[in-house]
Homo-oligomer: A and B are copies of this chain.
Amino acid sequence: MKANHGILTSFIICILMVATGSVKTFAQDQRKVRMAKLEIHSADLKAYKEALAEHAKTAVKVEPGVLALQAVQDKTHPELFTVFEVYASEEAYQFHLKTPHFLKYKTGTLKMVKSLELIEVEPVALEIKPELIKH
């Protein structure tokens, strides 16, 4: 009877872990994926690009929860930028907001940003060749 109780307790704990997303294999569902659309003042384009590139590199390198930061600049309208962001979870994102490199980027570029729009998105496909990372 005691053994049965043990099995039942383990089973309930497992169900709770799955339900709360504590199981590692369910990590994919916890991801926070977002797009940031920014308009930058024309005079600050070079400085902004440098700050953005440096910030993305540092964040993905040092933070376990920042899975990808991909940023692009519109060729026709060079003042428009899109950042495609993938975090392991909402908690990872909240942690990111408090890091020294994010705060440095945020305060350093505050006056360069004309407008910022944050768009929560659902991933449909995240197909990436390993070669893209090696570059």
Stretch of A5-13, A15-23, A70-78 on the interface side: A70-78
Select which of B59, B60, B81, B124 is within 8 A of A49 by beta carbon: B124
Does A132 lie at the interface of the complex (its beta carbon under 8 Å from any beta carbon of B)?
yes
Count identical subunits in the complex: 2
- Total residues of chain A contacting the partner, CB 8 A: 44
B135 touches A126 (CB 8 A): yes
Select which of B75, B121, B127 is within 8 A of A75 by beta carbon: B121
- The minimal Cβ–Cβ distance linking A88 to chain B, given in whole angstroms, is 9
Q: Which of A114-135 contact B (CB under 8 A)?
A: 119-133, 135
B82 touches A35 (CB 8 A): yes
Does A113 lie at the interface of the complex (its beta carbon under 8 Å from any beta carbon of B)?
no
B73 touches A124 (CB 8 A): yes
Select which of B27, B57, B123, B133 is within 8 A of A72 by beta carbon: B123
A52 touches B135 (CB 8 A): no
B125 touches A69 (CB 8 A): yes
